Structure 1
Amino acid sequence: MASPLLRKPSLVHEGDATIVHQLLAQDTGLEYVGFKMIDLKVKARYEETLTDQECCIVALTGRITVSEGEHHFTGIGTRESVFEKKPTDSVFVSGGKQFLLEAVTNATVALCYAPSLQQLPTRWIKAGDVGVERRGKYQNQRMVHNILPDSDPSASSLLVVEVYTEGGHFSSYPPHKHDQDRLPEESFLEETYYHEVEPHTGFVFQRVYTDNRSLDETMSVEHRDVVLVPAGYHPVGVPDGYTSYYLNVMAGPKRIWKFHNDPDHEWILARQ
């Protein structure tokens, strides 16, 4: 039986737009995080009105034009494949606003949602402003694109990052969690992982588990799958010969990312 945390693409066609994933509260049981993935053919349009949620529109691949009110961000997007490993453009839109996407080329767009706690300006998050950092060492190295980190005040709830992990390496490792609202030691954040794998025939492994093992799921995750992380530790392992990409969306009652490492594995960080 497939894990309820693992969601496969479910293609719904709306004109020249294809909804690859639609994972909102009614679909997932998550309280804070929502996610959509949309494929757009050239010249296709997609329109949405936000109510009580804010949205980060990530031009995953291809080029799009994003319009909201008087704002028009034309032909944004920097790559044809996420595995070009360079940052892309995104647009942040607060709740209560309407946005329109138009595909300049064939494009894939991620829509990342969280509660809109205050009205904030619509903002183009330029690729050149996205912070790039390398985390970990040895076989736990990965590269991170910080699209909407908690240090960026552009959003009221949303946190959005991209992560690349090479074959034979682990990511989100040593296993860490953020499922307790006990700041300053740890924050409560739900999370989704949208995965891509290069070559596309590959797979990665992701485990989601809690200390008491009331939640303990180990999944074989394929290209374009999504994993839900309502709670618990959530490491990712990448087989040799493949490269892993994932887009993380996080949100909770406070917009702070403070994680807690699994004590059984934290000793790994002490290696020289």
Structure 2
Amino acid sequence: MHIAPYDNKNSPIVDVDDTTVPLNYFNIVKLTKGQAFAYQVPGYETCIVPATGTIDVDVEGFKTAGLGGRVEDVWGGEPEGVYVPSGAKVEMVCLSETAEVFIAGAKYDEVLDPFAVRADEIDLVQYGSDDTKTHRKIKHILGQKQHGKVGRLLVSELFTVGAGGWSGFPSHKHDTDHLPTETRHDETYNFRFKPNWGSGVQMLQREDNKPGDAYHIVDGSTICLDNGYHPCCVLPGYEMYYFTILGGLSQRSLVQYFQPTHAYQIETIPGIKDMIAKFK
């Protein structure tokens, strides 16, 4: 499902028990200097990630000062995040002139401990190549390094390297708990483009070798993925970014089922096996 950009007025774009991706939660909060925002999401663990701007965060007494350092856009530095346990009360206060803050969530009942992920703790992986048109890098905010500290939530930022190209290829899905070959993980993206008048296409193919759907994605588009194979691409001459939320049904580690028609390209795209291993 494609949700076109709109003024959400700091209300969830993907709320609890969403009909398409019930395992996910997503909000974008926009603040000005000195403005505060508080929230609490029972039954969902969340992660606060400033897209731009700097904020202070208080999670029931666990305080993180000066979170986020990007100014103009998501290309302007490394991400930072704060993990918020399920149902915890949170308040954030904007320190910069403005801030745009992503709140990612996954359904999970157990209450764990809050923690911060600073820029020097981000787990970076780069894979693909210009020749295969798949060159990209992934910055894991809640990834393999945080395994054991988080219930079901995976949070990362994905960037195309250079202008144009494909992401999420070879096509894969993760809509069915069928271990050891696949896990059920709902997924939500929020896209940005550089320059911001760029755009791309999100494909969604429900069955191998049968026609699927395609969505025209623009700066600020949100995509919710419940099932099917889902590669995406950006127009030549533009860079693409997408904030990625994964919420697992029965486990946190993601097991992708690659589309049989294209699975052989796992062996031809440089570094892709290292990329797969990071979603744990």
- State the partner residue of 2:103: 111
1:215–1:230: structure 2 CA closer, same or farther, 3 Å change rule? farther
Q: Given residue 266 of structure 1, which amino acid in structure 2 is its aligned partner?
A: A
Flag structure 1 segments of 5+ consecutive residues without an equivalent.
none
Match status 1:160 vs 2:152: no
CA contact (8 A) 1:24 1:30 kept: no
For residue 83 of structure 1, give the secondary structure of its aligned residue in structure 2.
coil
Within the candidate set 246, 265, 275, 1:268 is matched to 265
Aligned match of 1:209: 205
Match of 2:168 among 161, 165, 172: 172
Q: Cα gap change, 1:244/1:30 in structure 2, threshold over 3 Å: closer, same or farther?
A: same
Match of 1:93 in 2: 84
Opposite residue 115 of structure 2, the aligned amino acid is R
Partner of 1:45: 36
Matches within 5 A, 1:1-272: 5-13=1-9, 18-19=10-11, 22-25=13-16, 27-80=18-71, 81-84=73-76, 86-105=77-96, 106-137=98-129, 138=131, 139-150=133-144, 152=146, 153-165=148-160, 166-211=162-207, 216-253=212-249, 254-271=251-268
Q: Counterparts of 2:241 and 2:63 in 1: how far apart (Å)? A: 29
Shift of 1:114: 1.1
Q: CA RMSD in A?
A: 1.9
Distance 2:263 2:20 in 1: 30
Please say if residues 197 and 243 of structure 1, whose CA atoms lie closer than 8 Å, have aligned partners that are also in contact.
yes
Count of residues in Structure 1 that have an aligned counterpart in Structure 2: 262
- Structure 1 residues 190-233: Cα deviation after superposition (integer angstroms, max 9, x where no partner): 10010001111110111011216899320110000101100111
SS across alignment from 1:268: helix
The alignment's TM-score, normalised by the length of structure 2, stands at 0.88
For 2:266 and 2:243, how far apart are their aligned partners in 1? 24
- CA drift of 1:28 comes to 4.3
Query: Structure 2: how far apart are the matches of 1:9 and 1:219?
Result: 13
Cα distance, 1:268 vs. partner? 2.5
Amino acid across the alignment from 1:209:
Q
Query: What is the identity, as a one-letter code, of the residue corresponding to 2:112?
Result: L
Does the 8 Å contact 1:150/1:257 carry over to 2?
no
Which 10-residue stretch deviates more, 187-196 or 37-46?
37-46
TM-score (normalised: structure 1): 0.90
Identity %: 24
Give the 3-state SS of the residue equivalent to 2:149 in structure 1: coil
Say which SS state the counterpart of residue 184 (structure 1) adopts: coil
For the structure 1 residues 229 and 148, does the alpha-carbon distance in structure 2 shift closer, same or farther, using more than 3 Å as the test?
Answer: same
- Pair 1:244–1:177, CA change in 2 (3 A): same
Q: CA deviation at 1:260?
A: 1.4
Deviates more, 1:27-36 or 1:133-142: 27-36
Partner of 1:50, secondary structure, is: coil
